[in-house]
Amino acid sequence: MPTQTTLSLRDQLHEAVVEFLDSEGMTCPKTRDGLVMLINALGHYREEGKALFPEVFVFDSLKDVLSILPESEYVEVGVDVRQAATMAKALKKCAPLARRGWAVYIERRANRFGYGLLRCGSTVLSLSPAELLVNRGDPEIPVFMLRQVAENVIQVNGFSRSSLLVHFGATKDVEVSPTPKLVEFTDCLTEDVPAEVQEQVATFYQTVFLGVLRAGHGTLAAVVPGKKRAMPKEFRDGVILSPAISVVRKIQEVLTKSDCGSNAKLQASAALITGMLLSDGITVFGSDGTVRAYNVFVKHPKTSPSAVGGARTRTFNVMCGLIDDVLVGALIQSQDGRVEFKGK
């Protein structure tokens, strides 16, 4: 007689969520069930056919959270019974509004869940709620957040540095988060940026690349030495920017003037660079934080019929072969959320 094996991915996710909440000291059966529902919903979240990428924060005291978020504001959307369905309802009601700095919050009250939207900061360089509440979180104010970092890839982070990465795709690298690779790349991209603005430039680019990753298009990026102004001959088949886009100068202007005009210019640059990264070919940066070129194509060496991988992967391999001699870093983001970086 044939045998049948039944595998419940929901049960596996349930067990992982229980372990995560225990590590965060936020154990609660209703939160547990609600978090499983949110993770499943965020894997490929759409409203009226349009992809949305909300960040969701769960905590016990809105008042305490707002006290550590500078220039913060919130909009309460609803309150309902403390059950998993309310957490799902919060996402449904708030996700379409969670953009341009706004995030969804769910407040765990005694017998109910309150929910709505919150934001903080006044410029594109302001520290995000994720940075302030989770990465630099206060142990006295427990918070965890979840967000889609790529299509079918959900990351849950807690204030105690616990992390849960859920991958609904077919890739074998299910345990690898794309975030550390993006940090490695932005460190390479800002190596020759002045120290006084290096952190801000890195944060700017991490935000840009996370947005590109969520778009699910895939991208290639390369970093050339910042001190070399001439484009390497291997990367001249594309749109060369003259002058290069100086993100450092725009960020210095925001920090100096702190006005709406300079902030708007920096936001416009972020949109422009995102568009370049979503174009075909390679986007070339300098290690001084500049954008040098986009829509760049490199020649592939003649390969044997046994060569494997798509065109983007083969191009990345060519770029990796140019590290040290021509490049100081290379990055690939594939459509399934895989991120690889190679530097010196």
Taking 50 as the pLDDT cut, the residues of the chain under it are 6-7, 172-175, 304-307
Query: Would you say 118 and 129 are in contact if contact means Cβ atoms under 8 Å apart?
Result: yes
Q: Which CATH code is given to the segment(s) 9-167?
A: 3.40.1700
pLDDT (0 to 100) of residue 171 = 52
Looking at the whole model, is its pTM more than 0.85? no
* Architecture in CATH of 179-343: 3-Layer(aba) Sandwich (3.40)
pLDDT (0 to 100) of residue 174 = 44
pLDDT per position as a tens digit, 205-256: 988 988 888 776 789 999 999 998 899 999 999 999 999 999 999 999 998 8
Q: Both tokens of residue 106?
A: 């769910």
Q: Where in the chain is the domain with CATH 3.40.1700.10?
A: 179-343
